[in-house]
Structure 1
């Protein structure tokens, strides 16, 4: 199981992709992560803040 957020560089999975039985089973997740990091490189960091109760 997993999710992604449209328009944001956010995704997750509900298992341990590094523990897959085959050498390439979850390779696509790591490729996606690296591509998202590269796309954000050089962009200013914008921390998200939330007030208690949100």
Structure 2
């Protein structure tokens, strides 16, 4: 999607796009320096962002990430205990 989020971040490193597994989906890119800020790996049911989704400025911009994470957990639990 074409959403812009205002986030708080402080990191001196980033994941290299070319080092990701083939199945990884890039979900977030930093508009300032084009660094990778978020990924989702469907076959591992793993997601990650390289910023603070719970922090200001824009404290609600990334709230959907917590819902996505909880959905992944619920799906995993349902598969473990059908």
Q: How high is the TM-score relative to the length of structure 2?
A: 0.46
**C-alpha deviation, 1:37, in angstroms:** 0.7
Alignment of 1:28 with 2:64, yes or no, is yes
2:44 alignment counterpart: 8
Structure 1 stretches of 4+ with a deviation exceeding 3 A read none
The CA distance in 1 between the partners of 2:39 and 2:46, in whole Å, is 8
Aligned length: 44
Of the two structures, which has the highest relative contact order with CA contacts closer than 8 Å and spacing of 6 or more? 2
Give 5+ residue unaligned stretches, structure 1.
Answer: 45-54
Give TM-score, length-normalised by structure 1. 0.65
Preserved contact between residue 53 and residue 62 of structure 2 (Cα < 8 Å) = yes
Aligned-residue Cα RMSD (Å) equals 1.7
